[in-house]
Amino acid sequence: MLAVPVTSSGFGPKVSVEDLNGSLFTSDDPLWSLIQYEAQVGAANEPFLATELYGSVLQYPSLTDAVCVVLANKLGTGYMQATQWGELLQDAYSRDAQIRRCMRMDLMAVMERDP
């Protein structure tokens, strides 16, 4: 996990592009590292968001795990519980690399279009 330097005002000191790029390229999953970094900064600077960011991003070891839990919680109903959705989604993501690739492409498109 990346260490995040922050201050009590704003989003903390600026991180150079070189430092951020360096940390992302030494990671096994640069996209997930970036998402976790942004969640850490957000949680440190906006305490009222910290619980939500921890529950949806920071506690998970991988992007796939986080996405499965978030989607399962959104899709869960009395007919099909969130835990059942979670198992189904984990199975689908683990079996099909194309689904994982498309999920990442979708997230990167959102990041590019809505920075």
- pTM of the predicted protein model: 0.73
Residue in the block written with tokens 């992007």? 63
pLDDT, tens digit only, all 115 positions of the chain: 444 444 444 444 455 556 555 655 566 888 898 899 889 989 888 889 999 999 999 999 999 999 999 999 999 999 999 999 999 999 999 999 999 999 999 988 888 888 6
CB atoms inside a 10 Å sphere around CB 3: 7
Rounded Cα–Cα distance for residues 14 and 103 (Å)? 29
